[in-house]
Structure 1
């Protein structure tokens, strides 16, 4: 009971500090780890950060100053490259493999793998799913809760299920509240 009691005391103290400084409550792992150190330990670019609860599988490359939000899945088992100055919002899933053929063949087929690439200066909205083999170009914006199963060109704004690049000139605010 001694260690558990001590950990509870530490959690309460750290939680109070975060609440006072940032007005937020975090899971225990994020209270005791440093987001920038987490990214450094994965070999990511200078100034990149990621929460403790981010799942990193396989070969994942991340550029400088990229922010990886909480509860993100980055599957690099087929090769994943993310550029610099990206913002990967909470709950985003980025895949480089799937097991459809493996499952439907009763384990006879291998999982399919293809590399996925996200350019630099890309914003990906919360709870978006990016399918294996997709390339998202530099400066693209992907709206929240999108399913990206095709390439998105540089500078495009895309959203939806499946995500589609929208007409030129749409503002980010229009992405939040599309009229069509």
Structure 2
């Protein structure tokens, strides 16, 4: 799944017109993941269960060593042009939604089924609907 994405991303960067879209559709059909070639994905990113049910907006940025569980949505929000930025070493639990102009700080953890609508500081844990910060990671 990630290899198909990497090839599609590389071809899209070089301006190849049709093949990246075909590879996107192949990933969608085989693995049920919506991961457009334009997404910036860092190294050692793990998509749980081969990306089952994951939906990622075309402009999302995902850092290195990120773990994304199944059925996660990283997307836009009505009234906002910006989309989520996921920094390095973040864990996102199953079914979580990270929506709009949100930055998830380095080493943060997002609980299962959380709906994140505001920034999460580095090292923090966010849970609930809408998500609230349990720990700030700043020695609390």
TM-score (norm 2): 0.73
Within 5 Å, which residues of 2 pair with 1:2-41? 35-41=1-7
Residue 56 of structure 1: aligned partner? 35
- Residue 148 of structure 1: which of 94, 98, 116 is its match? 116
1:160 aligns with 2:128: yes
Larger Rg: 1
Question: CA offsets per residue over residues 48-80 of structure 1, 9 Å max, x none?
Answer: xx873211247310100101231100012xx21
Q: Deviations over 1:132-156 (max 9, x none)?
A: 1110001000000000000000100
Deviation digits for residues 96-154 of structure 1, max 9, x if unmatched? Answer: 343xx6xxxxxxxxxx4213200011000000011111100010000000000000001
Determine which of 96, 120, 125 is the counterpart of 2:76: 96
Whether 1:43 aligns to 2:23 is no
Contact in 2 for aligned 1:38/1:52 (Cα 8 Å): no
Structure 2, unmatched stretches of 5+, are 11-26
Written as runs of structure 1 = structure 2, the 5 A alignment for 1:96-175 is 96-98=76-78, 112-167=80-135
Q: Which residue of 2 aligns with 1:30?
A: none
Judged with a 3 Å threshold, the aligned counterparts in structure 2 of structure 1 residues 113 and 64 are, in CA distance, closer, same or farther, namely same
User: 2:38, 2:2 → 1: CA distance?
Assistant: 19
Cα distance in 1 for residues equivalent to 2:104 and 2:37: 20
